[in-house]
Structure 1
Amino acid sequence: MPRIPFVIPLLLSLLGLAACSPPPTLDQQLYIWQRQWRPAHVEALAQTRLDFSTLRVLALQAHPKAGWARAYPDLQLLKRDGRPLVAVVRLDGQLPQLDPRAIGEQITSLLHDWQAAGIQLAGLEIDHDCATARLPAYAALLQDLRRQLPAELKLSITALPAWLASDQLEPLLASVDSSVLQVHAVSDPRRGLFDAEQAQHWAAEYAARSPSPFLLALPAYGVALLDSPAGAPRVEGEAPLRQGGTRRELQADPQHVASLLAELRDDPPPGLSGIIWFRLPLAGDRRAWPIDTLLAVVRGQPLRPALDLHAQQNGQLSELQLVNRGNLASALPAHIELPAQGCTAADGLGAYRVTSTPQGLRFTRQHPGQLAAGSQRALGWARCTQIDQGGLHVEL
């Protein structure tokens, strides 16, 4: 019987190990997009330290009418945090033209000030949502900027799915070290903030075109659409717009985003090195996902709401609050049955009205709403001799 060369089973063994090896881990990074920093940033950075490797911090903006404006991050807090930092320069897509000299001067001044504060940047990101027809001019700007920057400073840009239709995409990406494909808030807002299936398609197409590693920017926030007399709705984010009328809330669905992330982890497109989340949630940020939701998605944990009742008692008077102790927002329940005895008075608050039943109290929702993960909402009050919180029955 002929002997099989030793190298053949060894090769087959190595191939088997390669086939069974897990896909590469996707790096997780985080955008910090507030122009003015506040004490809530201290806790937010501490809560995210273990899950996000790199912070991309809004540093400088240029708008057609307002001109240049600095953001004012707490540089000493960032220095103590110790994670790699990328400064983000936002050039509004509606700028009539790009002035390489002015842009270079502004960025040079910014880098000097951050370095003077003891910050050693890992990179610089240019965020410019220009029209596809202007990509050649944008590439020329980046090449000029690359010559002005320190050689060790990595240069990256954000990219739009619309640019996939242009043959100028490759020359543009060749002028930077890496890029970030943005797949949220890139279409007519009336069509929604994010489409997971479309995002996966864009990522695969972009992977086939990008000559260098890229990251994917995923949403962890919501916006409101305000009707406008001009036709196209206005988009309200963190800062409220001084405009009346109907507000329609849109939010990236955490479950949809989590499903996409799981698929990307199992079968990442070639060249995809990580995910950047927009944006760091702060306490009181009414449109960013709560931190518990963001961390659960990043960690691949199950997403579920967990409604509970909290009663603050003072004698027979109880102030009732509905609490969501889960990591996913919940629709406000249509009905809440609360076993109670000896009730002489009660009233609902906000979205709820209360009626008496033989078993206790029944709270009925008057209009729809949501209860974010980790938040609470006043339900009402009751004057009863006994309230059985454990017997609470919720009907969504």
Structure 2
Amino acid sequence: MVFLFRLSLTFAALLLSGCEQSPASVLDQQLYVWQRQWTPAHAPALRQSHKDFSSLRILALQAFPQAGWSRARIDPQLLKTDGRPLIAVIRLDGQLKLLDQDDVIAQIQQLLSDWQAQGLAPVGVEIDHDAGNARLPAYGAFLTRLRQTLPATLGLSITALPAWLDSPALPGLLQTVDSSVLQVHAVSDPRQGLFDPKQALRWAERWNGVTTRPFYLALPAYGVALLTQDSGVPVVESEVPIDQGGERRELLADPQQVAGLVAELRAEPPIHLAGLIWFRLPLADDRRAWSLTTLGAVARGDRLDSHLALRVHEQGGLYDIELVNQGNLDSPWPQRLTLVVGACEGADALAGYTLQQTSGLLTFTRIQEGRLTAGAQRAIGWARCTKIDQGGSNVHP
């Protein structure tokens, strides 16, 4: 009986161990640094991003059909101080009718030489070229030649489009590079949104079935504005403001949607998926990107919460009223805010809100869209009252 009892315990233990969840996979997390002109805001942003993101993919060089070549004005000293591995990204606009291979290779070699002279030692080069499917064979030939000119120690990767999945040239193209970065955001009509997590997962699974080499997913942490034209075709405004009138519709990738995809990928990653690359490093004055607090929370898999609250500061009976985001999730401005007050001589709302005053109550109502980043605060109004009951204040989404 003792033997049978021990055997039963052993069998039960095996059953329990089989039911335990395997630990979530650790996916490498990297960042695109996509500003064409570096500013003092890069220093704190890079410092804050250091603990969550292993490598930096730096927009370094661009070629456009009419404008020609343009270098991003980076801060090499800042990158040396940062110390993370660097990948130089060369953007070849998809509207280029023909890739002048000699010129492109010469430009890349000069860039690498200049970076080396500045004390930078990139570990890789990424080519970002939105070639149409019909041009993929020629693109593959160019990449083969480029690979031969680069040092063997330097990795070569490409930014890739889901549309390429329909091309028979894709498997051969992927054999010419060491890795690929599948862009799963803003790849179709932006009017349909920047990101669809279910579609992104399907693309990732299909890509995994085609490639035999490591690949990354480029995920969105940004927004754009769509500017309406008379033709009905929208113009996309991103980092650079466009001086054009008309209606503006803001689109922003939803952090909770993206976090859901990341959780699925951690739980059951495609076998060739090497990691995630976030577009893009946000700066403090970046009005169309998640805050670094929200980006870091999504990358780590933290629970997301905006936790909006009202806060008042009183001096001589004058109250300054502000909205505070005490959570880790950027949030739209709330629709309505109310405060219980005593007798008030005067009160007013600041930009973005309007005020309605009734007996014992101040009601602030939103009249324009806005966003309060995680950890930030924003003044919404003032009041001169005998008292304000902060415990009686409410934020209504």
TM-score band by shorter chain is: over 0.9
Deviation at 1:231, TM superposition (A): 3.0
- How far is 1:320 from its partner? 1.6
Write out per-residue CA displacement over residues 315-344 of structure 1, whole angstroms, 9 at most, x where no aligned residue: 112222212222223333333221222311
Partner of 1:235: 236
> What secondary structure, in the 3-state scheme, does the structure 1 residue paired with 2:391 have?
helix
Q: How does 1:47-66 map to 2 (within 5 A)?
A: 47-66=48-67
Q: What's the Cα RMSD here?
A: 1.8
Q: Alpha-carbon deviation of 1:60?
A: 0.2
- Does the CA contact (< 8 Å) of 1:290 and 1:374 recur in 2? no
Percentage identity across aligned positions? 58
- Matched letter for residue 385 of structure 2: C
Correspondence 1:218-367 to 2 at 5 A: 218-367=219-368
Q: How does 1:1-396 map to 2 (within 5 A)?
A: 21-396=22-397
TM-score by length of 1: 0.93
Pair 1:94–1:306, CA change in 2 (3 A): same
Aligned residue for 1:6? Answer: none
- In the alignment, the residues of structure 1 paired with residue 377 and residue 225 of structure 2 have an alpha-carbon distance, to the nearest angstrom, of 21
SS at match of 1:200: helix
CA distance in 2, matches of 1:267, 1:196: 15
- Partners of 2:251 and 2:356 lie apart in 1 by 33
- Alignment CA distance shift 1:229-1:271 (3 Å): same
Deviates more, 1:203-212 or 1:374-383: 374-383
Give the C-alpha shift of residue 389 in structure 1: 2.1
Separation in structure 1 between the aligned mates of residue 106 and residue 146 of structure 2, nearest angstrom: 10
8 A contact 1:347–1:382 mirrored in 2: yes
User: Could you tell me how far 1:23 is from its partner in structure 2?
Assistant: 5.0
**Residue 390 of structure 1 aligns to a residue in which SS?**
strand
SS of structure 2 residue aligned to 1:391: strand
Give TM-score, length-normalised by structure 2: 0.92
How far apart, in 2, do the equivalents of 1:340 and 1:141 lie?
70
**TM-aligned CA deviation for residue 78 of structure 1:** 0.6
Cα deviations by residue, 1:135-169 (Å, 9 ceiling, x for unpaired): 01100111111111111111000110000000100
Tell me what 1:3 maps to: none
State which drifts further: 108-117 or 344-353.
344-353
Counterpart residue type for residue 330 of structure 1: S
Check conservation: 1:208, 1:270, Cα contact below 8 A. no
Contact 2:310 2:394 in 1 (8 A): no
Instruction: Note the alpha carbon deviations across 1:263-300, whole angstroms, 9 max, x for none.
Output: 00000012001000000010010001011110110111
Q: Quick check: 2:185–2:218 contact (8 Å CA) kept in 1?
A: yes
CA distance 1:33–1:367, shift in 2 (3 Å): closer
In 1: Cα distance, 2:394 partner to 2:92 partner: 52
Amino acid at match of 1:359: G
In structure 2, what is the Cα distance between the partners aligned to 1:48 and 1:86?
16
Secondary structure at the counterpart of residue 245 of structure 1: coil
CA-CA distance at 1:238 after TM superposition: 1.2
What is the aligned partner in structure 2 of residue 4 from structure 1?
none
- In structure 2, the gaps of 5 or more residues are 1-9
Counterparts of 2:394 and 2:24, CA distance in 1: 44
Question: Take 2:231 and 2:103, find their aligned partners in 1: how far apart are those partners?
Answer: 34
Structure 1 counterpart SS, 2:126: strand
Offset of residue 380 of structure 1: 1.2
Unaligned runs of at least 5 residues, structure 1 = 1-8
Partner Cα distance (1:368, 1:68) in 2: 38
1:116, 1:365 → 2: CA distance? Answer: 53
What amino acid does structure 1 have at the position aligned with 2:173?
L
